[in-house]
């Protein structure tokens, strides 16, 4: 007697991470284990139906690793997240959670995928036939091997409601938890280092006296509207602006210079807003090709869009400075 198993490809859902992963049950690894707080999750049941494997409630009926073809979890980022990937078992998280926790290093894109729903699961062309005579690939279909869900009779309806409420609450908590973690990661990796860099530059410029020297040199350009227009045109040259744009580092340094000059009275305070518009001319000029690619623009469109955008920024630079000057009237 033989049994045919099919393979499924599981891709990440909206806001998810990892994948796609391919799950192919075999003679011994023929169980789709659902560890979602009790009862079999619909995603686990769906994967089992497509692959012809057996869905098991791993919360109430623990399954050995060597019999697990795929694990379905609803983890919010704790130890459970990496337990199965550590044992080379494909893991599907129904929550939109990135690898985290003490075993996060084992959650590779080949073994872990998150935010999975039924529509993210699809059949592949791979089919595996397993015979009962295949040694350790024996498929046991007797009653002892099956692990049906527990039935609580008249309380099933109440338990279903409690289960749905619990899953909804867990989903909401995991979303907030993941959002908080991503916010903290962004602050640590991007915002705080940039703030430290600007504070360092400000300290060097202020204490070394370099700022005063540069401020005096820049005064003809930053002390009047005409000078700021010339300054904006210089840094807005189409061949120069893409070189000055990356990371907004140059703009930040110029902002520190001009801000220091304003605080020391070298540059009039009413030039602050026009100066901001002047140094912002090069913002995102290096990002135009990437934006065209993200917008799935044709190669010809991208080829024309880049110089067109650069020249438009160059042309609108003096207009932006004038607008800033007009709106700064009466502010100071």
Beta bridge partners of 93: 73, 114
Parallel, antiparallel or unpaired: strands 31-35 and 68-73 = parallel
Catalytic residue among 70, 75, 107, 285: 75
For every residue of 262-281, DSSP letters joined together read HHTTSS-GGGHHHHHHHHGG
SS3 59: coil
SS3 132: coil
Phi and psi for 127 in degrees, rounded to 5? -130, 135
In whole angstroms, what is the distance from residue 313 CA to residue 286 CA? 12
Query: Diameter of the chain by CA atoms?
Result: 91
Structure tokens at 319: 């207009």
Sign, CA dihedral 247-250-256-258, equals negative
Question: What is the number of other CB atoms lying within 10 angstroms of the CB of residue 135?
Answer: 8
SS3 93: strand
75 is catalytic: yes
In whole angstroms, what is the distance from residue 22 CA to residue 122 CA? 10
| Active site positions, annotated | 75
């Amino acid at each position: 007697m033989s049994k045919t198993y099919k393979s499924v490809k599981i891709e990440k859902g909206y806001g998810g991470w990892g994948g796609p992963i391919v799950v192919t049950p075999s003679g011994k690894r023929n169980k789709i284990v659902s560890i979602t707080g009790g009862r079999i999750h619909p995603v686990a049941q769906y994967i089992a139906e497509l692959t012809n494997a057996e869905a098991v409630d791993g919360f109430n009926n623990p399954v050995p690793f060597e019999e697990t073809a795929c694990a379905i979890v609803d983890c919010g980022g704790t130890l459970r997240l990496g337990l199965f990937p550590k044992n080379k078992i494909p893991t599907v998280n129904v929550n939109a959670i990135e690898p985290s926790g003490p075993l996060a290093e084992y959650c590779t894109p080949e073994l872990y995928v998150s935010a999975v729903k039924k529509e993210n699961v699809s059949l592949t062309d791979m089919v595996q036939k397993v015979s009962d005579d295949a040694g350790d690939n024996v498929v046991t279909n007797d009653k002892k091997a099956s692990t049906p869900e527990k039935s609580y009779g008249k309380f099933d309806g109440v338990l279903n409601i409690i289960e749905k409420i619990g899953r909804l609450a867990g989903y909401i908590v995991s979303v907030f938890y993941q959002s908080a973690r991503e916010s903290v990661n962004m602050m640590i990796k991007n915002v705080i280092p940039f703030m430290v860099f600007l504070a360092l530059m400000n300290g060097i410029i202020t204490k070394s006296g370099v700022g005063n020297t540069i401020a005096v040199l820049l005064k003809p350009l930053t002390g009047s509207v005409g000078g700021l227009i010339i300054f904006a045109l210089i840094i807005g040259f189409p061949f120069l602006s893409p070189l000055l744009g990356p990371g907004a580092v140059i703009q930040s340094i110029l902002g520190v210079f001009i801000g220091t000059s304003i605080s020391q009275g070298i540059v009039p305070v009413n030039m602050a807003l026009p100066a901001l518009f002047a140094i912002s001319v090069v913002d995102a000029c290096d990002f135009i090709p990437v934006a065209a690619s993200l917008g799935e623009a044709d190669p010809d469109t991208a080829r024309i869009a880049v110089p067109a955008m650069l020249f438009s920024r160059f042309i609108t630079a003096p207009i932006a400075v004038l607008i800033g000057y007009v709106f700064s009237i009466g502010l100071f």
